[in-house]
Amino acid sequence: MQNSDSGERISEAGFDLDQVDRLLTTTRAVRKRLDFDRWVSDDLIFECIDLAEQAPTGGNDASRRWIVIRDQELKDQLGELYAEVGTIFINARGRLDGTGHPKEHIVSSSAYLVENYAKAPALVMLAIWGIHDDSGRPGLFDSAIPSAWSFNLALRSRGLGTAYATMLNNKSEEVAELLGMPPGLTTLVCFPVAYTKGTDFSAAPRRPASEITYFDQWGFTRQRPSDDGTARVADGQGVVAEIDTDARPRAVWDVITDISMPAQFSEEFLGAEWTSEGDPGVGSTFRGRNSIPDVFDWETDCIVTAWEERTAFEWRVTDTENPGAVWRFDLAEQGGGSRLRFSMLIGQENNGTVPMALRDPAKEQRVLNRRRDVLRANMQRVVEGVKAIVDGD
């Protein structure tokens, strides 16, 4: 990458990265800021579809078809169908408005679209020849999704916006009837297309790549990029195990904050006792007992470094500044239940793994990964055990 005279970041491929990144990070689902009073020309829609058609297709076949709905009567009928599916959003808005619930904003925005869908100057539907048959072959609707997103990006670059509206997929027979579509097609999305009111949109909060990217093995994280691609102590090696539960975060929280609970499922962790007084919270301490049978028994002094009810419980081993390990449970609502994420980070010192890993640089990755194999297996048992407790499986 080089910086141009005017300070732009120009990539090796000649792209202005500030502009490219702005497009990729600020193409939002737009609903309340769609300008229904401003006309969108066919010309612009053709242009955006031509750009979107550059997206990949399985087998390089040309099976995508676009239907632009301009006729107000048809838009109204599609709007009614959309609203039939979307009543869940209208009802949920009634419950969530003013509560500060994390989904309040998206529900209110989605409900607004349900009520105003037919006002868009154009509804643009993407369909593809073929019916998904679970055959695993590419080329059916998997081939439509990349171009659907390119269409979003093309709109955004030209001052227009939309939301990736899929609810009409639940009314595919009625839609086919209204639009005169023959059998053998799958519809994927029907975009309400309009200019946006203003063009300033922000990047959305998303998990950083380092938390959701695994290297070589499922669940093996790397805090920082590695110089040579191999796992090195210095880059912060971690492990993640996740599970979805039917139970709500409240029930899961009570289980994961029982510090001896993992002993029921882990083959290494034997139990723990609080060593501080009072209700647990940040700064509380406990001692954990561990054993690798016939090899090694050891105890760890742990300090709680995050305690957010129903959201996060983190503790550090030995020393908060130079922890031997950082262990953490994260909880989030997922569907009607919860997603539990159990993660750990191998510290730079104060543990048994690092001296072994650093003894021979040629074996550093192997030592780290062998240790992580064991940790992952135990952590997986723990999250499955938590699920069994809270869901009663």
Ligand X SMILES: Cc1cc2nc3c(=O)[nH]c(=O)nc-3n(C[C@H](O)[C@H](O)[C@H](O)COP(=O)(O)O)c2cc1C
What residues line the site for ligand X (CB under 6 A)?
A: 28-29, 31, 106, 110, 113, 163-167, 204
**What residues contact 281, with CB distance under 8 A and at least 6 apart?**
304, 307
Cβ nearer to ligand X, comparing 163 with 389: 163
C-alpha 248: how far from chain center: 19
In the complex, the smallest distance separating the C-beta of residue 136 from ligand X, rounded to whole angstroms, is 20
Instruction: Output the smallest distance, CB 374 to ligand X, in A.
Output: 37
Smallest distance from the beta carbon of 55 to ligand X, in angstroms? 15
Least distance (Å) between residue 168 CB and ligand X: 8
- Least separation in angstroms between CB 164 and ligand X: 4
Residues 368 and 347 sit within 8 Å (Cβ to Cβ): no
The residue among 29 and 356 lying less far from ligand X, judged by its C-beta, is: 29
Q: How far is the CB of 148 from ligand X (least distance, A)?
A: 9
The single-letter code of the amino acid at 18 is D
Q: How far is the CB of 362 from ligand X (least distance, A)?
A: 44
- Residue whose CB is less far from ligand X, 110 or 378: 110
Q: Which is nearer to ligand X, 48 or 107 (CB)?
A: 107
Nearer to ligand X, 167 or 325 (CB): 167
If the CB atoms of residues 113 and 261 are measured against ligand X, the closer one turns out to be 113
CB closer to ligand X, 85 vs 306? 85
| CA distance linking residue 28 with residue 156, whole number of Å | 9
Q: How far is the CB of 161 from ligand X (least distance, A)?
A: 10
Convert the chain into a string of H (helix), E (strand) and C (coil). CEECCCCCEECCCCCEHHHHHHHHHHCCECCCCEECCCCCCHHHHHHHHHHHCCCCCHHHCCCEEEEEECCHHHHHHHHHHHHHHHHHHHHHHHHHCCCCCCCHHHHHHHHHHHHHHHHCCEEEEEEEECCCCCCCCCCCHHHHHHHHHHHHHHHHHCCEEECCCCHHHHHHHHHHHHHCCCCCEEEEEEEEEEEECCCCCCCCCCCCHHHHCCCCCCCEEECCCCCCCCCCHHHCEEEEEEEEECCCHHHHHHHHCCCCHHHHCCCCEEEEEECCCCCCCCCCEEEEEEEECCCEEEEEEEEEEEEECCCEEEEEECCCCCCCEEEEEEEEEECCEEEEEEEEEECCCCCCHHHHHHHCHHHHHHHHHHHHHHHHHHHHHHHHHHHHHHHCC
**Judged by CB, which is closer to ligand X: 51, or 106?**
106
Q: Which residue of the chain is nearest ligand X when measured via CB? A: 28
Least Å from the CB of residue 166 to ligand X: 4
Nearer to ligand X, 32 or 70 (CB): 32
